[in-house]
Amino acid sequence: MQTLPSWPYPNLVAHRGAGTLAPENTLAAMRVGASFGYKMVEFDAKLSQDQVAILLHDTDLERTTNGRGNAADHPYAALSTLDAGLWLAPAFRGEPIPTLEAVARYTVANNIACNIEIKPTPGLEAVTGTAIARQALHDWREAAVPPLLSSFSLTALEAAKQEAPSLPRGWITKTLDENWRQTLAQLGCVSIHLHHALLTKALVNDIHNAGFRVAVWTVNDPARAAELLRWGVDSVITDALDLIHAA
Ligand code: G3P
Ligand code: MG
């Protein structure tokens, strides 16, 4: 068995801030996550038209804000006026789309570990990987643990590696082909982030034996989370903060 890379992260991670309990990818969500005892958050980051890094899952604004069109087609000044909370519940009315910088300030100050998912607008993979890695290196420079950068995009991960080789990287994938070890090695990844349905105990062992950590998403059944942790999965990313309790 190879030596496993350092993994200074909790074994439970709040997906998109607080799963479905607060508007995803907002500071309000981070606070709700913390109130449930979660010490690590996963969130999705991409660029505005003027290359300000913001939190947003989708390419377009419609589902989670009162804006229209693609985030990448609007300058940050316009995105900053949008409501990213009301879509979920009136109590969150007026919650803004946060900048990555604001999230860094909040999480570093509160000692909350971060998994920054680089979620580029299609076509902007390299520029997004570079910009987010550069900013993560700067904004988390005083963090107790470095942010874990992850992405489905191999191009974004390669760009992040070039820009900030010291920051740990994880490759998110929905499928596994026989080349997964080489892909992780080429990108200098510390971890693979898999949909939990792909996981077996044998696969957890294979990943660890190959020298990589494994995170799983999005696990909302407490019994399944317990099983995955028993198998040795390094981190479980969940929406169900109310059902799956942080130690
Ligand atoms: O980072 C794991 C997970 O968040 C990937 O899927 O669509 O929720 O960003 P998605
Ligand atoms: Mg994500």
Ligand of minimum distance to the alpha carbon of 115: 1
pLDDT given for residue 1 in this prediction: 62
Active-site residues, by number, are 15, 57
Residue 228 within any structural domain of the chain: yes
Distant-in-sequence, close-in-space partners of 43: CB < 8 Å, separation ≥ 6? 16, 17, 24, 25, 55, 103, 114, 115, 116, 117
Ligand of minimum distance to the alpha carbon of 13: 1
pLDDT given for residue 24 in this prediction: 98
How far, in Å, CA of 135 to CA of 143, rounded?
A: 13
Residue 61 within any structural domain of the chain: yes
Residue 114 within any structural domain of the chain: yes
Q: Which atom of ligand 1 is nearest to the CA of 57?
A: 9
First to last CA, the chain: 28
Q: What is the mean pLDDT of each run of 10 residues along the chain (247 residues)?
A: 91 97 98 97 98 98 98 98 98 98 98 98 98 98 98 98 98 96 98 98 98 98 98 98 86
Residue 243 within any structural domain of the chain: no
pLDDT given for residue 199 in this prediction: 97
* Residue from 40, 55, 171, 218 whose mutation best tests the ligand 1 pocket (most atoms within 8 A of CB): 218
- Atom 7 in ligand 1: residue holding the nearest Cα: 57
pLDDT given for residue 172 in this prediction: 98
Could you tell me the distance, in angstroms and rounded to a whole number, from the CA of residue 144 to the centre of ligand 1?
A: 24
Residue 1 within any structural domain of the chain: no
* Residue from 43, 117, 119, 171 whose mutation best tests the ligand 1 pocket (most atoms within 8 A of CB): 117
Could you tell me the distance, in angstroms and rounded to a whole number, from the CA of residue 217 to the centre of ligand 1?
A: 7
- What string of DSSP letters covers the chain? -PPPPP--S-SEEEETTTTTSS-TTSHHHHHHHHHTT--EEEEEEEE-TT--EEE-SSSBSTTTSS--SBGGGS-HHHHTTS-SSTTT-GGGTTPPPPBHHHHHHHHHHTT-EEEEEE-PPTT-HHHHHHHHHHHHHHHTTT-SSPPEEEES-HHHHHHHHHH-TTS-EEEEES---TTHHHHHHHTT-SEEEEEGGG--HHHHHHHHHTT-EEEEE----HHHHHHHHHHT-SEEEES-TTTS---
Residue 4 within any structural domain of the chain: no
pLDDT tens digits for 162-197? 999 999 999 999 999 999 999 999 999 999 999 999
Residue 245 within any structural domain of the chain: no
Residue with tokens 């309790």: 245
* Residue from 40, 148, 151, 172 whose mutation best tests the ligand 1 pocket (most atoms within 8 A of CB): 172
Residue pair 192/212 in contact (Cβ under 8 Å)? The answer is yes
CATH label of the domain that carries residue 24: 3.20.20.190
Residue 94 within any structural domain of the chain: yes
pLDDT given for residue 247 in this prediction: 59
What is the domain extent for residue 63?
12-238
Using CB distances shorter than 6 Å, the residues near ligand 1 are 15, 42, 44, 57, 117, 150, 172, 193, 217, 237
Could you tell me the distance, in angstroms and rounded to a whole number, from the CA of residue 66 to the centre of ligand 1?
A: 22
